[in-house]
Amino acid sequence: MNPLHGAATALITPFTADLHIDFEALERIVNHQIENGTQYLVVLGTTGESATLSASEKQAVMKAVVQYNKGRVPLVIGMGGNDTAALLTQLSETDFSGYSYVLSVSPYYNKPNQRGIIAHYQAVAEHSPLPVIIYNVPGRTGSNMTAETQLVLAQHPRIVATKEASGNMEQIMHLLQHKPDNFEVISGDDSLTFPMMALGATGVISVINHAYPKVFSGMVNDCLAGNWEAAKQAHYEILEGSIRIFEDGSPGGIKVMLHQMGLCETFVRPPLYPVNEKLEQILRSLVK
């Protein structure tokens, strides 16, 4: 089975009250995910608050997750940026021991045109020692990577998948219809995972899977096996949580659910801020 087929969790970075990394909580979360069916883990993505971690903290998290994982599931490392040259240097200087893929977000803030995005990713693919998963999330980057652009990049032998979080189902369907067989389309939207898999996506890199690993990973596995009725029931079972966790900022929402589960505290680093009290009560009730 392809390692990228199934449900992955985009791991949070838990913090203590003084906003230092809580490695004990991180180990609990890693074990909870693996023991409850998560197929692979993504480290230092957006959900991991990588934007507010120092270089040394990122290295510590990378090494810690490898240690906690003990080789049980594949690991993906998030590594992107809006300065292509700086990202290539980072790729050349990083120790990727224990990791199987690089997840690299489309350049943010600069708003490059599609030719710029293609050139950026081609350079990343040539310099990365690991296969690359491209990542389209216009709500965060300020620019959309079109289906045509992703199909051009899909021809590169080192670019093996895309995490699609545009929410644009017409674009996603065009991509799924015309992609090469050896190029995977992975859902980046928890609430759209079921319909995307019905159309040909092969999995998800998820936030809500932190709270519902058995149910959500089971839904993805049912989709892969063609058990659509069981998958649909699971989809609706966790749909509210899949939407609610993003209502007042992420990963603040999922950290509330993990706190209710006894796995970590709810602290996030500025400029992020904890979710409002009304939403917090709703999220805790969804766990109960």
Cis-peptide into 157, omega within 30 deg:
no
Confirm whether 135 is a catalytic residue: yes
Q: Tokens at residue 187, please? A: 């859902």
Rounded to 5°, the CA angle 14-20-23 comes to 50
- Mark residue 149 as left, alpha or beta (left: phi above 0; alpha: psi -120 to 50; beta: remaining): alpha
Pair type for strands 184-187 and 101-105: unpaired
Q: Catalytic pick from 58, 163, 179, 255?
A: 163
**In angstroms, rounded to a whole number, what is the distance separating the alpha carbons of residues 86 and 144?**
22
User: Is 255 designated active site?
Assistant: no
Instruction: Please tell me which residue in 40, 101, 135, 212 is annotated as part of the active site.
Output: 135
What is the three-class DSSP state of 155? coil
Q: How far apart are CA 124 and CA 101, in angstroms?
A: 12
Distance separating alpha carbons of residues 158 and 127, to the nearest angstrom? 10
Q: Using an 8 Å Cβ cutoff, are 163 and 205 in contact?
A: yes
Which of 159, 141, 142 has its CA nearest to residue 150?
A: 159
Kindly list the catalytic residues.
135, 163
